[in-house]
Structure 1
Amino acid sequence: MKMRAISLIITSSILVACSTANQLQTITGPDTVVPLHQEGKRAGRYHNLYPGEKTYPISCESDCYPSNANLICETEAENCQYQGKQSNPQLNTGFIVRWLGHAGFVIKTPNGQQVVFDPVKEQFDSPVDLAFRLASGFYRKPGDWLTGSELKSLDAVMYSHIHYDHFNKSDIEEIGNTPRYLTPLGMADNFPSGGFNITEMAWYANTKIDDLTVHAVPAHHFSSRVLVPFIYEDHDKDLWNGWLLEQNNKTLFFAGDTGYSRHFQDIQQKYGDIDICLIPIASYYSEDNGKWYRYVHTTPEDALSAADDLNCKVMIPWGYGNSTWKMGDHSSHSALLRLLHMHDKISSQIPLYILNEGESIAL
């Protein structure tokens, strides 16, 4: 009897383990791009489409952060709310965009699907969370989060890359295994176990969620997730990307973390003018390493150049805000001040729509 009981326990444990194993699909093909180094020390590691020295169409050189009467702050460029009068571009796309803060967005599509980009509720996964607090003395104020009804009706979760401020395992466990998870190549082994349905996608691969087409598109960035940044064993092991949603001949683009490069022009040439563009404007500043920060993050003026390359009908910026990590920024809203200033200075024709964390816009 004892042996039979032990056998039943082992069998049950195996069944539970099997039932919680993640499901993985990988989408590559002749029309996709898998940007791997083929030889040398970096063989098997991913790379950007356009490496090397960069020249930028526009650069703010001085007086880049003038105050703006529409940005109401508790202290200088800190803890702010944008209260400017804005007109809805009335694009009639059917997309509804809600900003959670930093890179997190909840998107309701024209035909009713609900997806989320890069949701991160708290600061970081443990133990990096504690280490960051002890090292920096800074704790990120949480942004907005998905409501109970949003969690229940979520069709897909899309991650742009594995950096801690874009990908949090505890959030995945809270969201659960009902929605599909779409990621760049190589990311699935970073997930917790739990029966998650994961699809890894090469650049320019696409998949369907009912009648919603999801395209994985290039970004200009890098990846690492080890405790000590830039250790070679982890560096660029997983790919990074942006996302393009397409439904009813309307498009919404999420850039992911990215620097400015010719990949924006490539995306426009492949998919045409983009209706709604969600483009980062922050984390580009560093007194010690500003050149590298800008290489992998768009400045506000780089974001405007990208929006121009994409012929965006409206641009919604992200990365600034009261829930930012302030990694490579002067303050919580300095990047927004610079964006508003440069948009006026260069007489940009790209319409902006500014959100505060938790706000929505139907476009």
Structure 2
Amino acid sequence: MKLSLLSLFFISGILTACGSANNIYRVDGADTITPLHKEGQRKGRYHNLYPGEKNYPNNCESNCYPSNAHLQCEDGSENCLYVGEQTIPALKTGFTVRWLGHAGFMINTPNGQHVVFDPVKDQFDSPVDLAFRLSSGFYRKPGDWLTQSELANLNAVIYSHLHYDHFNKADIIEIGNQPRYLTALGMADNFPDGGFNISEMAWFAKTNIDDLTIHAVPAHHFSSRVLVPFIYEDNDKDLWNGWLLEQNGKTLFFAGDTGYSNHFNDIKQRYGDIDICLMPIASYFHAESAKWYRYVHTTPEDALTAAQDLNCKVMIPWGFGNSSWKMGDHSSHSALLRLLHMHNEMDSQVPLYILKEGESIVL
């Protein structure tokens, strides 16, 4: 059974009702960027800093997915575990990073704050999750999730953008209104009711939770809360962010969904070398629209190039994995195979650390 686009549009629209009982604050200022179109058909819609044709510095042209002895898989590049020996970089930042799967991360900061990026527990918000399963025959395996103690002690929940694989209303209800929510501009309207404390942040805005500084930074992507990647009237009405945590002079960068552009150099120029970089490496391949997919998502080699731009002391990749959506890629771990291959081909000097879903590392 397959659902029509009209049916998918209808049921997904159910989830776009905005809440009115929340505390919403906007964080911007003279030094921030609010990238809105000023005129024309797209007036009032957000845009990327560097639109237009892209020339990518590094490209894998053939044999991009050679087998790797460090990756043990049940079938081809499906259901895999990374078993290679890894050296933990001697960064001494004090950040603990736990990968929840896909884009989700739980971060414990050096001074004890607890922050989560893009938590999505299951597939998508209901009933879109059912529609996706009926239309595609695919259902995501659950990733790791937060314990009740962790949920009760969260200081901040940070969302990069509205797409269903990064923002789930059911998870917000479970997390509750105790932590502070930080989002890109416009996203608060998509929250459920419940007295949530939401700060919408422009690019290069910053805020603090005790002595933890949280910076909103640019990404190169797009926004829609209907069907991805189809474009309807809500497209780009809400912004998309990357994020930078800063404490004790140490930094952790979460790129969000993004394509490669000069915004990475802008971030480096403003904040200096980055200690820990959480970088997306999947959702770039799609037979019908490969060029567009890469425009708004980084290939593994694009992620490595961006990490070089940022002078990352360590890069932790995400987007692949046994709990991934395999959105636009070949399989659960083909993106990781390509990353390992291109890291060698590019002679990249950026150290990699490969996490399994649910695994933590102290850096």
Q: Under TM normalisation by the shorter chain, which class is it?
A: over 0.9
* Whole-Å separation in 1 of the counterparts to 2:327 and 2:353: 24
| Equivalent position of 2:14 in the other structure | none
| Equivalent position of 1:85 in the other structure | 85
* Whole-Å separation in 1 of the counterparts to 2:205 and 2:228: 32
> Cα offset for 1:295?
0.1
- Read off the aligned partner of 1:346 and give its amino acid letter: M
Using the size of structure 2 for normalisation, the TM-score is 0.94
User: Deviation per CA, 1:112-155, whole angstroms, max 9, x where unpaired?
Assistant: 00000000000000121111001000000010001122111100
* Whole-Å separation in 2 of the counterparts to 1:302 and 1:159: 22
The 10-residue stretch of structure 1 (200-209 or 148-157) with the greater mean CA deviation from structure 2? 148-157
Find out whether 1:241 has 2:241 as its counterpart: yes
Map 1:1-363; keep pairs closer than 5 Å.
Answer: 21-227=21-227, 229-363=229-363
Report the secondary structure of 1:73's partner residue: strand
- Read off the aligned partner of 1:190 and give its amino acid letter: N
Aligned length: 344
RMSD: 0.9
Report the secondary structure of 1:97's partner residue: strand
CA contact (8 A) 1:128 1:227 kept: no
CA contact (8 A) 1:215 1:243 kept: yes
Report the secondary structure of 1:26's partner residue: strand
Using the size of structure 1 for normalisation, the TM-score is 0.94
* Whole-Å separation in 1 of the counterparts to 2:357 and 2:230: 31
* Whole-Å separation in 2 of the counterparts to 1:255 and 1:233: 26
User: Deviation per CA, 1:246-275, whole angstroms, max 9, x where unpaired?
Assistant: 000000000000000000000000000000
CA contact (8 A) 1:258 1:297 kept: yes
Unmatched tracts of structure 1, length 5 or more: 1-19
The 3 A distance-change label for structure 1 pair 111 and 36 is same
Unmatched tracts of structure 2, length 5 or more: 1-19
> Cα offset for 1:199?
0.2
* Whole-Å separation in 2 of the counterparts to 1:23 and 1:229: 31
Task: Kindly name which structure, 1 or 2, has the bigger radius of gyration based on alpha carbons.
Answer: 1
> Cα offset for 1:229?
4.7
CA contact (8 A) 2:226 2:232 kept: no
* Whole-Å separation in 2 of the counterparts to 1:232 and 1:278: 30
- Read off the aligned partner of 1:181 and give its amino acid letter: Y
> Cα offset for 1:29?
1.0
* Whole-Å separation in 2 of the counterparts to 1:210 and 1:346: 41
Identical amino acids, percent of aligned pairs: 78
Moved beyond 3 Å, runs of 4+: 227-232
